[in-house]
Amino acid sequence: MRRWIPRNLARLVLAAALLGPAPAQAGSVDGPIARLRVEGRYDQNLMEGGGDGAGLLQPMFGWRLQSPTTELEASYAADLIGYAHGGAERGGVNHRLRGLEEFQLDRRTVIVLRQGAERVYDPTALSRPGVVRAAGTSTYAEGQFDLQHRLTYRWTGGLRYRAEVATLEAENAVDGAVHAPGAWASWAWSRRDVIGGGYRLQYFDTFGAGLDAYSHEPTLTWARVLGVATRLELEAGPAIFSQGDQQAVVPTGRVSVTHRRPRLELSAYAGRGLVGSTGFEGALWADAAGGHAIWRIAEPLRAGVALGVFRNGRAPSGDSFVEGFAGELSVEYALWRELAAEAAWRRVAQINLVGDEAIDLSRNIFAVGLTWHFQGSRLPR
């Protein structure tokens, strides 16, 4: 039963994306989307025996359908990675599935579903940061259901359910899942301010391999438009955590700022919360902060920087046993409409490793590549 989940969840993700309701309506468009990335790199991969030249071939293909009330998108991508030395035992293939469905039931009600699944031989390639236990092949999948309904001119409410599952083929790693149903409501206090509150229950399931855990999480939220291009969001509340006979009440929250202009995009965030499906028994307290900047220097030239830091500790004690960060510097030049060249430096680092519970995944990657991107037709939004 335990191994059924990762093998079949990917199939369910794709089926939901492709077979979900898609009523044909006047003015709808549909067609393929695709991307192909070719990259040469020097990879200081400690898990693969040290630095070496490497190559990446990353095809992606999918389908998008849009109508005035519906949007569906499904895609599959693969990372084919090979090293210059070391033979067939080095390198491998990462697989990724993505799905998005959005249905506007009426002028007040919207349903959004998101799915993702990935199976990677290299744990630093996981799109979800903080999964640090694995040293081998990892499978991670997530799904989210959102129902939003505008109750009145000022009041909006919604329901949400999020699920995660992870299996990790590493010694002493614990497979697990997270189930998180919740509800929320918000009130437009002014033209610039929206306040609200919500509740989420997180259930951390270890598939019988350890103690399951629960967390009750009421929250208060505030969002403010600081200017034409800037938005601030705050969220805070207690997490009432229980695992066996251990309990803790710890404040959690998140703050984020975004700033978007035609040639500049900035964002920053910081937060603390409970996470599961990490390869460890139960749940972890996760402190995280980060941000990114994208600057379009000229019409064909764009530069970007991104950084994320994290510190994980076992709940409920919160004792830290691993800290780390991931970052990227990149420059992209559009050769023509659908083809771009890029140079990048990527860094993954882990520090403060305690005992043998965490694995050093630190590495540098210096890369140059070409990306071809076909977006297909879209309706104006």
β-bridge mates for residue 339, sequence order: 336, 372
- List the domain range (segments joined by +) for residue 244: 4-22+37-374
Would you say residue 252 lies in a domain?
yes
* Under 8 Å between Cβ of 220 and 196: yes
Would you say residue 28 lies in a domain?
no
Locate 58 and state its tokens: 């990353």
219 conformational bin, left if phi > 0, alpha if psi -120 to 50, beta if neither = beta
Number of other residues whose CB lies within 10 A of the CB of residue 351: 11
- pTM of the predicted protein model: 0.84
Would you say residue 380 lies in a domain?
no
Low-confidence residues of the chain: pLDDT under 50: 1-25
Residue recorded with tokens 């089926």: 15
Query: Which of 294, 307, 9, 369 is CA-nearest to residue 129?
Result: 307
Q: Amino acid identity of 235? A: E
DSSP character at residue 77: E
Would you say residue 15 lies in a domain?
yes
CA–CA separation, 81 and 367 (whole Å) = 13
φ/ψ of residue 15, rounded to 5: -65, -40
* Under 8 Å between Cβ of 194 and 225: no
CA–CA separation, 99 and 65 (whole Å) = 12
* Under 8 Å between Cβ of 248 and 216: no
Would you say residue 178 lies in a domain?
yes
- Residues in contact with 378: Cβ distance below 8 Å, sequence separation at least 6, in sequence order: 29, 64, 66
**CATH code of the domain containing 110:** 2.40.160
DSSP character at residue 91: -
CA–CA separation, 185 and 267 (whole Å) = 25
352 burial (CB, 10 Å; 0-12 / 13-18 / 19+) is exposed
CA–CA separation, 242 and 164 (whole Å) = 19
pLDDT for the residue 39: 95
* Beta strand segments in 176-300, E: 176-188, 193-205, 213-225, 230-243, 246-260, 264-275, 284-298
* Under 8 Å between Cβ of 337 and 373: no
Query: Which of 116, 49, 120, 42 is CA-nearest to residue 78?
Result: 120
Would you say residue 314 lies in a domain?
yes
pLDDT for the residue 184: 98
Calculate the CA dihedral of residues 239, 247, 280, 14 and round it to 10 degrees.
-40
Would you say residue 222 lies in a domain?
yes
Locate 270 and state its tokens: 């910081």
- How many domains, the chain? 1
pLDDT for the residue 1: 36
Locate 310 and state its tokens: 């994290």
Strands 70-83 and 264-275: unpaired
CA–CA separation, 9 and 245 (whole Å) = 33
β-bridge mates for residue 203, sequence order: 179, 214
CA–CA separation, 362 and 10 (whole Å) = 29
Residue recorded with tokens 């799904």: 143
* Under 8 Å between Cβ of 17 and 73: yes
* Under 8 Å between Cβ of 315 and 287: no
- Residues in contact with 381: Cβ distance below 8 Å, sequence separation at least 6, in sequence order: none
pLDDT for the residue 130: 52
CA–CA separation, 223 and 196 (whole Å) = 9
